[in-house]
Amino acid sequence: MHSTTAASRAELDLKVFLPYRLANLAERISQALSTIYAEQYDLTIAQWRILAWLQQAQPLTAKRICELTAMDKARVSRAVSQLLSRELICRQRDDSDQRTLWLTLSEAGLDLLDSAIPRALAWEQSLVATLSTAEYRDLFRLLDKLEAGLALEATRD
């Protein structure tokens, strides 16, 4: 028998629980955006994230992509294999360390992104159209603060 009564139990209201709200919103945004690159470019969310990171910071290893995207090794490996088979990315061994494989965008990958990125940016613009310029700036400032707080929290563990 539990001596705790229902009235004294802790309750979690998900409508005001920030981790839930952010995760839920991020997932809904990701799924909505994914329809663009799934239908028009035949890309999965994982493939899109890899291509987007490679256009921003190539060459990258699969391990570094896992870190940047917070995707697990198996998901990244599967997406990399699919991108390689479609010849959207290239893989090359490191000259000094044969275990290291560097990933870069191919010409076909660059061409795909030349088409996909403007569409993604236009979609983002329509998403944030309800925010003023100041609110948009504040949103990123607050996200930066939360990320810094999370990084600080991680160093305490």
The domain tally of the chain equals 1
| Residue 67 resides in a domain | yes
| Residue 6 resides in a domain | no
CA 88/CA 72 separation, integer angstroms:
21
| Residue 130 resides in a domain | no
Chain centroid to Cα 130, Å, comes to: 23
Provide the CATH number for the domain around residue 105: 1.10.10.10
The yes-or-no verdict on residue 130 having pLDDT over 80 is yes
pLDDT in tens, 64-123: 999 999 999 999 999 999 999 999 999 999 888 888 999 999 999 999 999 999 999 999
| Residue 73 resides in a domain | yes
The yes-or-no verdict on residue 124 having pLDDT over 70 is yes
pLDDT in tens, 36-52: 889 999 999 999 999 99
Position 156 scores a pLDDT of: 82
| Residue 3 resides in a domain | no
Q: Which 3 state secondary structure label does DSSP give 64? A: helix
User: What percent of the chain has pLDDT above 90?
Assistant: 82
Which residues make Cβ contacts (< 8 Å) with residue 57, sequence separation at least 6?
Answer: 68
Sign of CA dihedral 57, 126, 42, 23: positive
Q: What is the pTM of this model?
A: 0.82
Range of the domain at 60: 46-115
Position 5 scores a pLDDT of: 61
Sign of CA dihedral 21, 27, 30, 34: negative
pLDDT confidence bin for 16, thresholds 50/70/90: very high
| Residue 91 resides in a domain | yes
